[in-house]
């Protein structure tokens, strides 16, 4: 793959140069990029039009077409997103801590960029500018490989960003785009260990799985969320209703929405009819196991497949459990390690759930919808990690850095 | 690979149980393991004897046989190593920081084990007990796959550790061993993404490369060190001699030893003869580029291969450079991102070197030999990471953990 080797070696050179830029310089360039995007709005819309026409021709579903569609307002939001990244503190160069060792060496852990980051993503063109600006601010070069549905939009966005970088020759390859959208090239990118320090896939479960099974470059898995809300026997009904409706229906298409409701047998008979009414009011379709169905009027019967499905839609699976232990066992078996919530007034149940459920974020008496860089107070995020290596949960700028030990001596040698 | 799936699913179950053990319980079991190893010394020595006989039969080099050889004293050191791990603070369960977000949620980053760790290693049997005790203390299950030269020794060590775990059924599979030493099984282990959270190779450059190119499980690269000492034009001669002799010859077989000396043209003529004398006194063989050779009496001519070789032996490559920029460029091109040192009295040169050299540890006026968990004050280490993802430099217990966000609410939903 000559193309990828070229992109890789260009990216490495620009990454080295960019790692030495200070925050003021990087922010100035990001502002120029935001302005260039606003100025080039007509060119972006026209490129986007091509993608929309192709989508129409290829019979792409309306919901997907909506993800793809740009407008003047959406381009303004992209520029606004870059200005939010400008406001974020720059982690690069900070020394996390510093100490003297026994030999008198002064040892510090200094934040440095990761180097070259690959991003493989699907249909939303805004990922192009979001990911590029976060990688740039954290001193990393990025190689973007977007979905072929958004090819013209993405290419135009990158061309505009590159026209700004062209004024800074040492970092002109800090933002690059893979123009070959074949699966072979994507697979080769996943194995580009010589040049890529990390690969971040952003998209649906199929993409994440493919990357995980193919990549030899270090991967940070993001995104899929088969999340649960467990209503304990000591839960308050009002709070339970409020949380499950919010977790399911406030925005069902996102990864921190809930997909399955688990409810303790002791409260199922009393609570489920009220919960059903609230969910039906929120247009949610219900699929329940046999025991839960006994207390519901509108649910169809759930199959095993429902327990493992991330609907990303107005559909909720419901299951009765005998105990918190059964709830935790079901969750740890079926979940994607994203976000899990318990509703309870029991101290013991809350601690048990927090300790034993394996997920990036575990909630007591709150909606799963809070797993998000903005909600956690991190500002913009590059994604939500569902693995345990390197970063877990919402990833902001610090998660796009590594460390370097800097060591100040005065002639120390090892005895 | 039915064998690996079984090991993997057993490990996962034990990892979940072990994650809930408190520090006192884990330390008690580690002490029982240390005692069992001491008590079973004759059985370990007899298993080791089989490995040594095979090594002899197969014509394994004496230096490798030495790595393989156990003695009563070495077994005592293994037990002592476990007792050092007992003394280390347990990171699991600590909450790194905790804050309230705008919605009033109390959000904490709690340290949790990684889960199931695979270790692929070569001939030293002590890695078996070192790695097992570090993984255990940090709440992880471990699957060990040692080299076939040490098969009987490793198997006996694991059998003894398992005999202790057998008294704790919920965690009886926390330490496991792959008894099939074929390359196919090793390759399958590297792709066991369903069960392994991370894979740590420990061994030579060949092993690391094979793992990096094969593994789809997240890998933490450790170990290879093609390290440099750069003697700047403003270096003090005495300090330069002391540091390069220590970095090269104090223990040449380890990964933080230096392999190449770079020296600034302005001081080469004056310094090199003194440096040569000190290195020859330390039994170091010299390979120099043409320009450096002019000031040396005993050096053979270096080829490009020398710049990329980790000798792990009493051999040093020497190269003249025109500037600190050339030194940094050479280092960043040839190094393995492990440990790099500059000797200088110049403030500007020290800062430039610290900022621009890409390595896990960068030293001013000190020997590269300090890159080590003990020297940094971390206690025991599982290896030295030469990648940027997850961990970089010496990895102790905290690097064997991840985080989980724990979130305390009182009914919050997202607006």
A204 pLDDT band, cuts 50/70/90, is confident
Tell the burial category of B396 from Cβ atoms under 10 Å away from its Cβ (0-12, 13-18, 19+).
Answer: buried
Average pLDDT, integer, range B139-150: 96
Alpha carbons B112 and B92: distance in angstroms, whole number: 5
Query: CB–CB of A114 and B214 under 8 A?
Result: no
Using the Cβ of B163 and the Cβ atoms of chain A, whether some distance falls under 8 Å is answered with no
Choose among B215, B365, B377: nearest Cβ to A101. B377
pLDDT in tens, B346-393: 999 999 999 999 999 999 999 999 999 999 988 888 999 999 999 999
The reported pLDDT for the residue numbered B413 is 98
> Which residue in B213, B218, B361 is closest to A389 by CB distance?
B218
pLDDT tier for residue A379 given thresholds of 50, 70 and 90: confident
Rounded to a whole number of angstroms, the CA Rg of chain B reads: 24
Q: Work out the pLDDT band at A122, boundaries 50, 70, 90.
A: confident
A119 Rama class: left (phi>0) / alpha (psi -120 to 50) / beta: beta
In the predicted model, what is the mean pLDDT of residues B23-31?
98
| Predicted pLDDT of residue B414 | 96
Q: Are the CB atoms for B162 and B175 separated by under 8 Å? A: yes
Sequence spans of domains, chain A: 2-222+382-407, 227-375
C-alpha span between B110 and A186 (Å, rounded): 36
Residue in the structure block whose two tokens are 């490798």: B64
- Quick one: closest CA in A to B328, which residue? A16
CB spacing of B198 vs A388 below 8 angstroms: yes
From the list B20, B213, B355, the residue facing A193 with the nearest CB is B213
Q: How confident is the model at residue A131 (pLDDT cuts 50, 70, 90)?
A: very high
Nearest-CA distance from B364 to chain A in Å? 5
Kindly state the percentage of chain A with pLDDT values over 90: 91
Query: What is the separation of C-alpha A5 from the centre of its chain, rounded to a whole number of angstroms?
Result: 27
Q: Do A365 and B411 touch (CB under 8 A)?
A: yes
Q: Does A215 sit within 8 Å of B193, measured CB to CB?
A: no
Cα–Cα distance for residue pair A82/B27, rounded to 1 Å: 50
Would you call B145 helix, strand, or coil by DSSP? strand
Dihedral through CA B4, CA B10, CA B15, CA B20, nearest 10? 180
Q: How far apart are CA A19 and CA A7, in angstroms?
A: 18
Please provide residue A328's backbone torsions phi and psi, each rounded to the nearest 5 degrees. Answer: -65, -40
**Range in A374-383, B94-103, B255-264 with the lowest mean pLDDT:** A374-383
Write down the pLDDT at residue A111: 98
Which CATH number applies to A227-375?
A: 3.40.309.10
Q: How confident is the model at residue A328 (pLDDT cuts 50, 70, 90)?
A: very high
Q: Most B CBs within 10 Å: which of A241, A282, A341, A409, as the mutation test of the B interface?
A: A409
What pLDDT is stored for residue A214 in this prediction? 92
**Window B:213-252, CB contacts with A under 8 Å:** 213-216, 218-220, 239, 242-243, 245-247, 250
Which candidate, A124, A142, A137, places its Cα nearest to that of A198? A142
CATH number, domain A2-222+382-407, options 3.30.559.10, 3.30.70.360, 3.40.605.10, 3.40.50.450:
3.40.605.10
Alpha carbon A213 to its chain centroid, in Å, reads: 19
* Prediction ipTM score: 0.94
From A32, A138, A67, A199, select the one nearest A379 (Cα to Cα).
A138
pLDDT at site A60? 86
* pLDDT at residue A338 in the model: 97
The pLDDT assigned to B36 comes to 98
Q: At residue B65, does pLDDT exceed 90?
A: no
- Output the pLDDT for position A118: 97
Chain A residues closer than 8 Å to B374 by CB: none
pLDDT of residue A4: 96
Work out the percent of chain B whose per-residue pLDDT is above 70.
Answer: 100
Distance CA A271, CA A237 (A): 6
Region A339-363 average pLDDT: 98
- pLDDT at res. B175: 98
Cβ distance of A362 and B20 shorter than 8 Å:
no
Cβ distance of B361 and A403 shorter than 8 Å: no
pLDDT-above-70 percentage for chain A: 100
Is B11's pLDDT higher than 80? yes
pLDDT tens-place string over residues A261-273: 999 999 999 999 9
| CATH architecture of the domain with residue range B227-374 | 3-Layer(aba) Sandwich (3.40)
Cβ distance A370 to B412 less than 8 Å, yes or no, reads yes
pLDDT at B384: 94
Task: Tell whether the model's pLDDT for residue A295 goes beyond 80.
Answer: yes
Q: CB of A99 within 8 Å of any CB in chain B?
A: yes
Confidence of residue A124 (pLDDT cuts 50, 70, 90): confident
Q: Are the beta carbons of A113 and A19 closer than 8 angstroms?
A: yes
Burial of residue B271, with CB atoms counted within 10 A of its CB: 0-12 exposed, 13-18 middle, 19 or more buried: buried
Residue A375 sits at φ, ψ, to 5 deg, of -65, -35
If you average pLDDT over residues B327-342, what whole number do you get? 97
CA angle, A407 then A409 then A411, to 5°: 140
- Average the pLDDT over each of A13-22, A202-211, B36-45, B278-287 and give the range with the smallest value: A202-211
Q: Give contacts of B392 with chain A, Cβ < 8 Å.
A: 402-405
pLDDT value at residue B67: 85
User: E strand or H helix at B394, and its extent?
Assistant: strand B393-395
At B194-242, the pLDDT tens digits run: 999 999 999 888 898 899 889 999 999 887 899 999 999 999 999 999 9
- pLDDT category at B91 given cuts 50, 70, 90 is very high
The CA distance from A330 to A145, in Å, is 36
Give the pLDDT confidence of B247-276 residue by residue, as tens digits: 999 999 889 999 999 999 999 999 999 999
Tokens of B392: 């970089």
With a cut of 90, say whether residue B290 has pLDDT above it.
Answer: yes
Tell me the pLDDT band of A222, cut-offs 50, 70 and 90: confident
Same fold, A2-222+382-407 and A227-375: no
Question: Is pLDDT at B63 greater than 80 in this prediction?
Answer: no
Instruction: Give the pLDDT of residue A66.
Output: 85
Residue A123 predicted with pLDDT over 80: no
* Chain A, nearest residue to B251 by Cα: A414
* Best to test chain B binding among A107, A114, A381 (most B CBs inside 10 Å): A107
């Amino acid at each position: 793959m000559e193309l990828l080797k070229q992109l890789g070696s260009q990216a490495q050179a620009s990454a080295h140069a960019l790692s030495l830029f200070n925050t003021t310089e990087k922010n100035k360039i990001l502002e120029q990029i935001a302005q260039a995007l606003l100025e080039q709005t007509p060119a972006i819309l026209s490129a986007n039009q091509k993608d929309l026409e192709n989508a129409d021709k290829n019979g792409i579903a309306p919901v997907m077409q909506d993800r793809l569609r740009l407008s003047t307002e959406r381009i303004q939001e992209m520029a606004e997103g870059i200005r939010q990244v400008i406001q974020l503190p720059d982690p690069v160069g900070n020394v996390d801590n510093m100490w003297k060792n026994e030999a008198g060496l002064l040892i510090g852990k200094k934040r440095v960029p990761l180097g070259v980051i690959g991003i493989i993503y699907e249909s939303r063109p805004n990922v192009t500018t979001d990911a590029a600006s976060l990688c740039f601010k954290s001193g990393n070069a990025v190689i973007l490989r977007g979905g072929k549905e958004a090819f013209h939009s993405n290419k135009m966005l990158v061309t505009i960003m590159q026209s700004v970088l062209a004024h800074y020759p040492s970092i002109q390859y800090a933002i690059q785009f893979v123009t070959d959208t074949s699966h072979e090239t994507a697979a080769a990118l996943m194995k580009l260990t010589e040049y890529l320090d990390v690969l971040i896939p952003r998209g649906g479960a199929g993409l994440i799985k493919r990357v995980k099974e193919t990549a030899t470059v270090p991967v940070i898995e993001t995104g899929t969320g088969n999340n649960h809300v467990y209503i304990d026997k000591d839960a308050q009904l009002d709070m339970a209703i409020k949380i499950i409706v919010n977790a399911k229906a406030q925005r069902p298409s996102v990864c921190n929405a809930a997909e399955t409701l688990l409810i303790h047998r002791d409260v199922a008979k009393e609570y489920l009819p009220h919960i059903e009414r609230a969910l039906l009011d929120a247009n949610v379709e219900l699929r329940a196991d046999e025991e839960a169905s006994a207390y519901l009027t509108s649910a169809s019967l759930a199959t095993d497949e429902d327990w493992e499905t991330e609907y990303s839609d107005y559909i909720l699976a419901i299951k009765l459990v005998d105990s918190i232990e059964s709830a935790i066992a079901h969750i740890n078996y079926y979940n994607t390690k994203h976000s899990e919530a318990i509703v309870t007034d029991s101290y013991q149940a809350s601690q048990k759930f927090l300790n034993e459920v394996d997920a990036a974020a575990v909630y007591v008496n709150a909606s799963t919808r809070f797993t998000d860089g903005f909600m956690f107070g991190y500002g913009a995020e590059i994604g939500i990690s569902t693995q345990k290596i390197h970063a877990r949960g919402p990833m902001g700028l610090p998660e796009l850095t590594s460390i370097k030990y800097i060591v100040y001596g005065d002639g120390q040698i090892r005895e």
